[in-house]
Amino acid sequence: MRTTVGIIGAGPAGLLLARQLHLAGIDCVVLESRDRAHIEARQRAGMLEQGTVDALRAVGAGARLDAEGLEHHGIELRFDGTSHRVDFPALTGRTVTVYAQTEIVKDLVALHLADGPPLLFGAEALAVAGAESGKPAIRYRHQGREATLECDWAVGCDGFHGVARAAVPAAQRTTYERGYPFSWLGILADVAPSSPELVYARGAGGFALLSMRSPTVSRLYLQVPNGTDPADWPDERIWDELDARLSEGAGPGWTLNRGPVTAKTVTPMRSFVGEPLRHGRLLLAGDAAHIVPPTGAKGLNLAVSDVRLLGRAFEALHRTGSTALLDAYPRAALHRVWQATRFSYDMTTMLHVPPGQSDFDRRMELTRLHRIAASRDAAAEFAAQYTGLPLP
């Protein structure tokens, strides 16, 4: 098989890039190792920046998002026995939208299958060869047989565990990485959210987050030790711990709504940036290139901003023959990636309680939170990062 742009991975990054290319009249093929049901059910992110919403609308994936997405004007921070609301429109003129990644993937897959270029499910990329030669070739296995996708450009949108990153020779790769001494236990519950906006809480016992998927479905997270087995957390224990952490600092009369838990997973936390984002005619985007801890809600938004830049760059190449925007992609993408990496790191370290934390470090965390509550400038910087920096 031959195409102009070979895309590995049908997560949000690969699907959105394919849609952008298709609308610009550029041939592409998407290879996805899993099946459709699997990628449409994978529970992940939920908070979209304005730029992400705009990008989805621009490719025709905005109808259900506009009907069902929940526009939010702020978040609440609870810490040290107090609560502070960060008002996004007042501080930045922008809002954010709650709409699950599962729904974005469903919307993009439906568009793609209706009139899009080939999207092969169960097609596992094995390796990318020839990136430096100007004729990349993606070797993949589909329906028990090995085949090759020859392309002018290969784009690795295959997530953190994908194969594309490995095509950059080790001697030319630099990896920046940091682990964290805690994980998130996340649940979905069939119960109305207990607050109209997201609540990020730093309780004495650790971090808790109250989020949502719809007016009748809550999404909640708890900081737990690394290596936690979800089986050790029966539903009652989760609700009790969420209640304890979220109630500290809540106003009088606030209660946590409890309901049937329909999903329970543990996710470790990591910051990771792999450079370069380009090797010859191979480009990397989204989780294939970088990972942030979910505290800043940036992973999905970064994946989308990477491919917005790439979509524009391929369009310019197609129209004018110039690779200037493709040449500029790594620098432009990495600027945002590092800002989001710093923000996610700050939010993570400010809101979690690592094991054995010293009294001094605890006071430093609380002092950072108190500064956001006390200073409009500090709150405005926080809000600008949370709602998303503009694309260059």
Q: Which is nearer to ligand RFL, 39 or 350 (CB)?
A: 39
Residue 94, contacted partner among ligand RFL, ligand PHB, none, CB below 5-8 A by kind = none
Verify binding: residue 203, ligand RFL, rule CB under 6 A. Answer: no
**Least distance in angstroms from the C-beta of 209 to ligand PHB:** 6
Burial of 22 (0-12, 13-18, 19+ CB in 10 A): middle
Q: Which is nearer to ligand PHB, 28 or 45 (CB)?
A: 45
Residue 330, contacted partner among ligand RFL, ligand PHB, none, CB below 5-8 A by kind = none
Residues of this chain, 287-306, that bind ligand PHB according to CB under 6 A: 294-295, 297
Distance CA(336)–CA(344), nearest Å, equals 12
SS3 68: helix
Residues of this chain, 265-304, that bind ligand RFL according to CB under 6 A: 267, 286-287, 294, 297-300, 303
Output the CA angle 100-103-104, nearest 5 degrees. Answer: 90
Burial of 102 (0-12, 13-18, 19+ CB in 10 A): middle
Q: How far is CA 387 from CA 97, 100, 269, 295, in A?
A: 10, 16, 21, 13
> Is 294 in the active site?
yes
How do 82-87 and 96-98 pair as beta strands?
A: unpaired
Verify binding: residue 330, ligand PHB, rule CB under 6 A. Answer: no
Q: Which is nearer to ligand RFL, 31 or 350 (CB)?
A: 31
Verify binding: residue 46, ligand PHB, rule CB under 6 A. Answer: yes
CB atoms under 10 Å from CB of 186, counted, come to 22
**Least distance in angstroms from the C-beta of 155 to ligand RFL:** 11
Q: Are 30 and 118 a contacting pair, CB within 8 Å?
A: yes
Distance CA(42)–CA(100), nearest Å, equals 10
Distance CA(311)–CA(17), nearest Å, equals 6
Q: Which is nearer to ligand RFL, 186 or 249 (CB)?
A: 186
Q: Which is nearer to ligand PHB, 162 or 186 (CB)?
A: 186
Query: Omega before 276 cis (within 30°)?
Result: yes
Distance CA(94)–CA(87), nearest Å, equals 10
SS3 229: coil
Q: How far is CA 138 from CA 11, 20, 125, 134, 345, in A?
A: 18, 21, 7, 13, 34
Q: Supply 23's token pair.
A: 């609308």
> Is 386 in the active site?
yes
**Least distance in angstroms from the C-beta of 302 to ligand PHB:** 13
> Is 72 in the active site?
yes
**Least distance in angstroms from the C-beta of 104 to ligand PHB:** 12
Residue from 7, 18, 47, 250 in contact with ligand PHB (CB under 6 A)? 47
Q: Are 247 and 254 a contacting pair, CB within 8 Å?
A: yes
Residues of this chain, 211-230, that bind ligand PHB according to CB under 6 A: 211, 219
> Is 106 in the active site?
no
Q: Which is nearer to ligand PHB, 23 or 384 (CB)?
A: 384
Q: Give the amino acid at 84.
A: H
**Least distance in angstroms from the C-beta of 355 to ligand RFL:** 22
Residues of this chain, 155-214, that bind ligand PHB according to CB under 6 A: 198, 211
Of 99, 180, 329, 386, catalytic: 386
The span of 30-38, 173-181, 242-250, 312-320 binding ligand RFL (CB under 6 A) equals 30-38
**Least distance in angstroms from the C-beta of 345 to ligand PHB:** 13
Distance CA(264)–CA(255), nearest Å, equals 22
> Is 200 in the active site?
yes
SS3 267: strand
Where do contacts with ligand RFL occur on this chain (CB under 6 A)? 8-14, 31-34, 39, 44-45, 101, 124-125, 157-160, 162-163, 267, 286-287, 294, 297-300, 303
Return the active site residues: 72, 200, 294, 298, 386
Where do contacts with ligand PHB occur on this chain (CB under 6 A)? 45-47, 198, 211, 219, 294-295, 297
